[in-house]
């Protein structure tokens, strides 16, 4: 029996097509997935992401704990409200999960981790936290609604109390504020501006309905996937997992090898860096018609790799993908689609930012 | 759900076939199938002149979500393909039984092949059972 978010009946009443996602019964689309995608790029859309796991951390040594737990440096969070994207690694440098860490006013921290990895994440975090006497508290009573798009912030602010609206209007990107029982982060997974709103479950349906009345389009996990791939953002389980280091998943920017910080996996990453990272994650665009998909073989000058995330990009009107390939200049790259080798271009990503194709894509 | 036209016959795998006045057979996918796939973004068509066996893959339809083979409901030679689908694959979403046709076959074993297909009532019944 799959789990349901508090918005499940709301999705069904809107006619959503539901699918199993990491053990949760979630909307993949409410009608046209492509229209939902465009709504986020051009105006404002919202996603129920209540399946994701909110974990609150408290304790005197919580900062020390986070310095050890994750590969990015929590010391970058100098003021309350700041957020950090990072990976949590095992001793071999493999990615256990990717997550966002928010600092909060009272020295506490809030983590948001993936739904499909909830059990192993909680077990790992709880075990690692014990020596630091840090309290780990899952918050299943909280729902999350991500409101994304060029008009998303204004539409959300219009529904808040004047005090909270003023706070929410002021926060910069990757910063959160709190008030009236809501936790509002200027974060997201679409490459557009917007908020992710953590709201008590019993208020989530009302918030959703008010957002819809304000012209925010419900969007499903299908559009979420095409939006995040256009935005060059990784999906755990598809683009990286415990057998892949952040260096092999284009996440070097999230690794802080700062002086004297002994985070789990650091020694393995330093060994890998010294010896040479064997594989790289690259971005691909296909100018021919067709769709790049997970698992397709990628032929490069240095040997074969494979497509990780691949999709049709509604903004570009052509297929885009991440691929993991042997390190080094890949030369002319081709993808094996049903036995035919189709030429593709290697491009840097994001593919799309703020609604527009990036240069060279 | 759209009305299923009475002059069509179906495969369990959701392809439809219609015998035209000149004895050729037009082939497409059902409205139900396009609904399952969602927004179509690519159709890989066969070549005119290709020979089809019943149940062999004769085209591929791809939505944002998934790629799906289209199987030949009748044996024969492909004499026409709907090349308009190359630029407008979404035509299948909009009109699966009309402008969204995929190919036309000159059949080699028409009567027997058509008899092996489901009539609209039997196909509708299959869809009802799938929903359960």
Q: Which residues of B touch A222 (CB under 8 A)?
A: 38, 64-65
- Say yes or no: A288 contacts chain B, CB-CB below 8 A: no
Nearest to B42 among A34, A291, A314 (CB): A291
| Cα–Cα distance for residue pair A96/A57, rounded to 1 Å | 18
B3 in a structural domain: no
Q: Which residue of A has its CA nearest to B87?
A: A289
B132 in a structural domain: no
B81 in a structural domain: yes
> In this predicted structure, what is the pLDDT of residue B2?
58
User: Which tens digits make up the pLDDT trace of B24-56?
Assistant: 999 999 999 999 999 999 999 999 999 999 999
Report whether pLDDT(A346) > 90. Answer: yes
B45 in a structural domain: yes
User: Which tens digits make up the pLDDT trace of A59-101?
Assistant: 999 999 999 999 999 999 999 999 999 999 999 999 999 999 9
> In this predicted structure, what is the pLDDT of residue B1?
47
B92 in a structural domain: yes
| Cα–Cα distance for residue pair A342/A333, rounded to 1 Å | 9
pTM of the model: 0.94
State which residues form the domain around B34. Answer: 9-124
Q: Which of B32, B64, B92 to mutate to test the interface with A (most CBs of A within 10 A)?
A: B64
User: Which tens digits make up the pLDDT trace of A201-255?
Assistant: 999 999 999 999 999 999 999 999 999 999 999 999 999 999 999 999 999 999 9
Q: CB of B61 within 8 A of CB of B29?
A: yes
Q: Please tell me the total number of residues recorded for chain A in this structure.
A: 361
Q: CB of A45 within 8 A of CB of A149?
A: yes
B129 in a structural domain: no
> In this predicted structure, what is the pLDDT of residue A287?
96
The residues, any chain, with a CB within 8 Å of residue A341's CB and separated by 6 or more, are: A299, A334, A335
> In this predicted structure, what is the pLDDT of residue B130?
80
B73 in a structural domain: yes
Tally of structural domains, chain B: 1
* CATH label of the domain that carries residue B74: 2.40.50.100
Mean pLDDT of chain A: 97
Task: Report the DSSP beta bridge partners of residue A298.
Answer: A305, A335
């Amino acid at each position: 029996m799959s789990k349901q978010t508090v918005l499940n009946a709301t999705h069904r009443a809107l006619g959503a097509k539901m699918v199993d996602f990491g053990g949760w019964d979630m909307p993949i689309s409410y009608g046209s997935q492509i229209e939902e995608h465009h709504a986020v790029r051009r105006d404002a859309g919202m996603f129920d992401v209540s399946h994701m796991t909110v974990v609150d951390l408290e304790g005197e040594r919580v900062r020390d704990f986070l310095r050890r737990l994750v590969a990015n440096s929590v010391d970058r969070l100098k003021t309350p409200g700041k957020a950090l994207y990072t990976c949590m690694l095992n001793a071999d440098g493999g990615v256990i999960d990717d997550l966002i860490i928010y600092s909060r006013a009272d020295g506490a921290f809030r983590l948001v981790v993936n739904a499909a990895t909830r059990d192993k994440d909680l077990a790992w975090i709880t075990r690692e936290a014990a020596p630091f006497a840090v309290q780990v508290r899952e918050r299943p009573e909280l729902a999350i609604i991500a409101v994304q798009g060029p008009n998303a912030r204004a539409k959300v602010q219009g529904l808040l109390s004047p005090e909270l609206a003023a706070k929410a209007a002021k926060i910069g990107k990757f910063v959160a504020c709190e008030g009236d029982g809501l936790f509002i982060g200027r974060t997201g997974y679409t490459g557009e501006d917007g908020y992710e709103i953590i709201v008590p479950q019993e208020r989530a349906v009302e918030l959703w309905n008010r957002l819809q009345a304000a012209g925010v389009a419900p969007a499903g996990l299908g559009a979420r996937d095409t939006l995040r791939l256009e935005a060059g953002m990784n999906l755990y389980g598809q683009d990286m997992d415990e057998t892949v280091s952040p260096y092999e998943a284009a996440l070097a920017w999230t690794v802080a090898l700062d002086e004297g910080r002994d985070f789990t996996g650091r020694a393995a990453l330093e060994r890998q860096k010294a010896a040479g990272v064997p594989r790289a994650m690259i971005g691909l665009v296909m100018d021919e018609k067709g769709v790049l998909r997970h698992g397709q073989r990628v032929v490069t000058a240095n040997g074969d790799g494979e497509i990780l995330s691949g999709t049709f990009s509604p903004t570009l009107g052509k297929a885009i993908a991440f691929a993991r390939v042997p390190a080094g200049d890949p030369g002319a790259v081709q993808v094996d689609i049903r036995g035919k080798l189709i030429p593709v271009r290697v491009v840097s990503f994001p593919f799309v930012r703020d609604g527009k194709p990036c240069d060279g894509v | 759900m759209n009305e299923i036209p009475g002059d069509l016959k179906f495969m369990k795998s959701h392809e439809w076939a219609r015998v035209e006045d000149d004895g050729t057979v037009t082939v497409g996918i059902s409205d139900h199938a396009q609904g399952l796939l969602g927004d179509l973004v690519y159709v890989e068509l066969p070549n005119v002149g290709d020979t089809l066996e019943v149940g062999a893959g004769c085209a591929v339809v791809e939505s944002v979500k998934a790629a799906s083979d289209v199987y030949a409901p009748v044996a024969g030679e492909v004499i026409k393909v709907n090349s308009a689908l190359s630029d407008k694959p979404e035509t299948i979403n909009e009109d699966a039984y009309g402008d969204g046709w995929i190919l036309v076959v000159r059949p080699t074993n028409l009567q027997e092949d058509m008899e092996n297909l489901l009539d609209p009532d039997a196909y509708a019944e299959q869809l009802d059972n799938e929903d359960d």
